[in-house]
Amino acid sequence: MIPRLALTPGEPAGVGPDLLIQTVQQQQQAQLIAFADPHMLAERAQQLGLPLQILPLDLNAEPVPTAAGTITVAAVPTAETVVAGQLNQNNASYVLQTLDAAIASCQSGHCQAMVTGPVQKSIINQAGINFSGHTEYLADKTNSGTVVMMLATKELRVALATTHLPLREVADAISAELLIQVLGVLHSDLQKKFNIADPVILVCGLNPHAGEDGHLGREEIDLIEPVLQQLRAQSMKIIGPLPADSLFTDKYLQGADAVLAMYHDQGLPVLKYQGFGRAANITLGLPIVRTSVDHGTALDLAGTAGASNGSMVAAIEVALQMTAASKGAH
């Protein structure tokens, strides 16, 4: 059966709609369903000079692969007319409405995965809505426990123990309980959603040189290593804690399935240098499959045809791989 993917273009004034329109200029393996304002998509396609035939969603019909130059739309109207590149806080609730509708379509089984475009956190918060990001929003809406942010290219997967925290708060946020939960989710989803029977996970230390035997910090000795020993006793293949500056070399990465970094800017600069524009952002620990682009709204590029859709293509590919693996795991 042809899978259906729910796509949310994200901030309507950003490049999300552009990426979607660019992507469907090629025939797709799945049926892509855009949860978006059809008028906004039609206007943006005209602005980009690209053909786009908008098809209404019929859930009673058999899913068919999205043909080049077409997109099936589950209509969610914007509050006000969208101008590419110009944020409008009156359209902030629209962004969340598209997410809610896409989540519901995955929970009901109408769609098999969700792919999200970039959102502008600042404008949603300016509109008086408390919003810290897709990951936290999806966890809340699906009543999930611990969720894990992971970015992936074809060659490298990097998951994060902590995500959007000021650096001075990171060390206090890392606890034995957190690491056990995060590594449990990472290990389980590598098995269930990536079809890796016995995953090998590399774990970064928190401090330079992984603490240098306690001379540069004791978190590795007092906290990280005991947790890793406990999980190894449960037959998990976990290597570390390793110094982050040497972990990201072929010596260690060969044969590894994923890396757990302790904080955002420990792991993601390496991943983005290695594969920016062709990486997918993945939320692990959800009852649904969710992937996203690896970049922001790029307001200056919206409507200009200057944005690359490589990350959107990667996010769709990874969502399809995870959907196939999840089906096989049941």
Rounded to two decimals, what is the model's pTM? Answer: 0.93
User: What share of the chain has pLDDT > 90, as a percent?
Assistant: 94
Domain match, 223 and 302 both: no
Q: How many domains does the chain have?
A: 2
Q: Residue 222 is part of which domain span?
A: 146-283
What is the reported pLDDT for 44?
A: 98
Domain match, 279 and 292 both: no
Which is higher by pLDDT, 276 or 283? 283
Domain match, 124 and 194 both: no
In this structure, which amino acid lies at residue 60?
A: N
Domain match, 29 and 54 both: yes
pLDDT (mean) for 131-148: 92
| Cα–Cα dist 276/294, whole Å | 7
Please give the backbone phi and psi of residue 237, each rounded to the nearest 5 degrees, phi first.
-90, 90
pLDDT (mean) for 20-26: 98
What is the reported pLDDT for 1?
A: 86
What is the reported pLDDT for 286?
A: 96
pLDDT (mean) for 174-197: 97
pLDDT (mean) for 40-50: 98
Per-residue pLDDT band at 329 (split at 50, 70, 90):
low
| Cα–Cα dist 4/150, whole Å | 23
User: What share of the chain has pLDDT > 70, as a percent?
Assistant: 99
Please give the backbone phi and psi of residue 226, each rounded to the nearest 5 degrees, phi first.
-60, -40
What is the reported pLDDT for 327?
A: 74
Domain match, 180 and 237 both: yes
Strand order in the sheet with 4-8: 53-56, 70-75, 31-36, 4-8, 113-116, 290-293, 280-284, 148-152, 157-160, 258-261, 200-204, 237-242
Domain match, 277 and 293 both: no
User: Which of 283, 298, 314 is the last residue in one of the domains?
Assistant: 283
**pLDDT tens digit sequence for 310-324:** 999 999 999 999 999
| Cα–Cα dist 307/15, whole Å | 7
Domain match, 170 and 271 both: yes
Q: Residue 13 pLDDT more than 70? A: yes
**pLDDT tens digit sequence for 54-75:** 999 998 899 999 999 999 999 9
Q: Residue 328 pLDDT more than 70? A: no
**pLDDT tens digit sequence for 195-229:** 999 999 999 999 999 999 999 999 999 999 999 99
- For residues 73 and 114, the answer to whether their CB atoms sit within 8 Å is no
**CATH of residue 82:** 3.40.718.10
Domain match, 50 and 11 both: yes
Domain match, 203 and 83 both: no
